[in-house]
Amino acid sequence: MEFKFDLHTHTIASGHAYSTVQEMAKAAADKGLELLGITEHAKGIPGTCDEIYFHNMRIIPRKMYGIDLMFGSEINIIDYDGSLSMDAELIEKTLDIRIAGIHTPCYEIGSVAQNTQAYVKAIENPMIDIISHPDDARIPIDYETIVDAAKENHTLLEINNSSLDCLSSRVNAWENLQIMLRLCEEKNVLVVADTDSHISTAVGVFDHVEVLLKEMNFPEELVVNRSVDLLKQEILKHREIRKIGRP
């Protein structure tokens, strides 16, 4: 399938990534993407940027090398109530795209029920559009609960290409993503594929995701990367749910 965008990537501002905004944008344009998301780590990851970095992102052009750009953050989920490592005001004022994920330096791994609740609370949070890499056996979760919550809230669960790489520190991602994707297929839930690139050469490279989707014969229409319009509609639906109030 054709991936029109890659929304989860990091630049040197994240402290352990190796390319600049312009190098990432150029790489995305060369790959033929229509849209690139740059989502630096939030507070809690050693060496990442300070809050002022997010405040000043307004000065960066949202178009470079002929493609659209969105700037955001991959925010840490820090406890079982789904608390985030960034203030609501900063999120709402500065981020075009909002990803939340669990990273072991910023989260004490709990039981399946506790980890699942942490994710569900983030999924229900209208400020969070995407859940990054819910695929790591070190943080065990109940996939059916997560997929049901994602469906109800129009929050996108991620198929993370980096998790599927043999270099990844995450554990059993192939098996866990298969479980998650089977449930998404059964329940008709959209998912997003991202590269989580930490260097420009990885931008728009969905090699492992493609193998996984093919192996599973996963329906292409459930992968939101096929259309930027579909992505924007889904994000709007998610943000609207809260605006009109949840039942």
Return residues touching Zn ion (CB under 5 A): 74, 101, 132, 196
Instruction: Give which of 135, 136, 141, 140 is closest to 158, Cα–Cα.
Output: 135
Residues 79, 118: contact at Cβ < 8 Å? yes
d(CA 94, CA 45): 19
Nearer to Zn ion, 82 or 215 (CB): 82
Cβ 197 to Zn ion, closest distance in Å?
A: 8
Nearer to Zn ion, 94 or 163 (CB): 163
User: Within a 10 A sphere around the Cβ of 206, how many other Cβ atoms?
Assistant: 22
Instruction: Give which of 55, 67, 75, 52 is closest to 21, Cα–Cα.
Output: 67
Show the tokens assigned to 164.
């599927």
Nearer to Zn ion, 59 or 166 (CB): 166
Cβ 205 to Zn ion, closest distance in Å?
A: 15
Instruction: Name 37's bridge partners.
Output: 70
Cβ 133 to Zn ion, closest distance in Å?
A: 6
Nearer to Zn ion, 132 or 176 (CB): 132
